[in-house]
Copies of this chain bind each other. A is one copy, B any other.
Amino acid sequence: MEFTLEQIARLVDGIVIGNPQEKVYTIAKIQEGHRGAICFLANPKYEPYLYQTKATAVIVNKDFQPQRPVSTNLIAVEDAYTALSKILEEYQKIIFRPKLGVEEPSFIHHSAQVGENCYIGAFAYIGENVQIGKGVKIYPHVYIGDSCIIGDNTVIYAGVKIYQGCKIGKNCVLHSGVVIGSDGFGFAPQPDGSYKPVPQIGGVIIEDDVSIGANTTVDRATLGNTILKKGVKLDNLIMIAHNVEVGEHTVIASQTGVSGSTKIGAYCVIGGQVGFAGHITVADKTSIAGKSGVMGDINESGQQLMGVPVMPLKEHLRALAVFKRLSEVWKRLERLEKKLFSSGID
């Protein structure tokens, strides 16, 4: 299927700089652009490719100023990455046929309610009293424990496991290997050094528009609920412990772990492999660099933090600059001491 640049510009609310009648039939990365492909430039790191690409057109931000002559057509938009997202959405609708209906064998408890236009893949398991909304896609090997509630248009990919009694909102996406509602890690130490498991009878509430990456785990609460608020985006292999709350539209990159009862604010941006201690509070709009460790409350919102334990980003970078030269610091210290304490002054 082919589209003119004019048609695409209309879709993404952009302006064609070049020939609006040229046609494209596919989408490509800018470094792999070719005749008939439309590309996009969002990350400035890839700008050099713009001047050599063979793509028919490149989508750029309105405020982008080329530093050199450009031979390809441009489509200027408010935000190139969002425009790409729109085009890919349309492309996806054409390419991928949505799954529908129930494949056999599957296990759907007679008391479960399933809405219209759902897909239930083979070997999926829907427990007692489960309620599933409209347009939900449940891929093969998904397990939905008793009394769970799944909101409209949520997509649950192959092999997701949801323990009994959890609530998932509308328009959520749960990727393969996600585990929701496993027991929180609660054990009471006993006098003989062994541990007694503390039953975890709370639940998990996942609000609307939440996306959860492959093999991420969200434990159920001891009491009350573990909560992921509206619009939260979690990457792969993340650990959300019992009674944690993650605020609206907070984004967390892969392999980060949040310990029990910690509350992360709204609109935070958390890097990968970050660790949060338990029972702490992190203010809204906090930004935390990858590999950091958050040991205590972050009370002031809007900070950029880094390190183990976290410090303001700039301070941490300054400390790191000296860290790299610590063996030099040591030598200079010795030189000073030699001078000062052996020169007769002492």
Contact = CB atoms under 8 A, between A and B. Distances in A.
Nearest to A320: B309
Interface in A105-155: 105, 107, 121-123, 125, 139-141, 143, 145
Contacts of A45: 279
A324 B315 contact: yes
Interface stretch (A2-10, A13-21, A66-74, A247-255): A247-255
B219 A197 contact: no
Contacts of A266: 193
A158 B88 CA distance: 33
Contacts of A159: 141, 143, 159, 161, 179
Residue of A122, A173, A214 with most chain B CB atoms under a 10 A cut-off:
A214
A322 B332 contact: no
B163 A176 contact: yes
Given A28-B224, A251-B195, A291-B293, A82 B239 contact: no
A341 B85 CA distance: 61
Interface of A: 27-29, 32, 43, 45, 79, 81-82, 84-85, 88-89, 91-92, 95-96, 103, 105, 107, 121-123, 125, 139-141, 143, 145, 157-159, 161, 163-164, 173, 175-177, 179, 182-183, 185-188, 190, 193-201, 209, 211, 213-215, 217, 219, 222-224, 231, 233, 235-237, 239, 241, 243, 249, 251, 253-255, 257, 259, 266-267, 272-273, 275, 277, 279, 290-291, 293, 308-309, 311, 315, 318-327, 329-330, 332-333, 336-337, 339-341, 343, 345-346
13 contacts: A29-B243, A157-B163, A176-B179, A177-B217, A179-B214, A179-B215, A185-B235, A193-B249, A213-B217, A219-B236, A236-B241, A321-B327, A336-B337
Given A81-B188, A214-B217, 8 more contacts: A81-B198, A84-B198, A88-B199, A96-B164, A123-B123, A159-B161, A185-B236, A254-B257
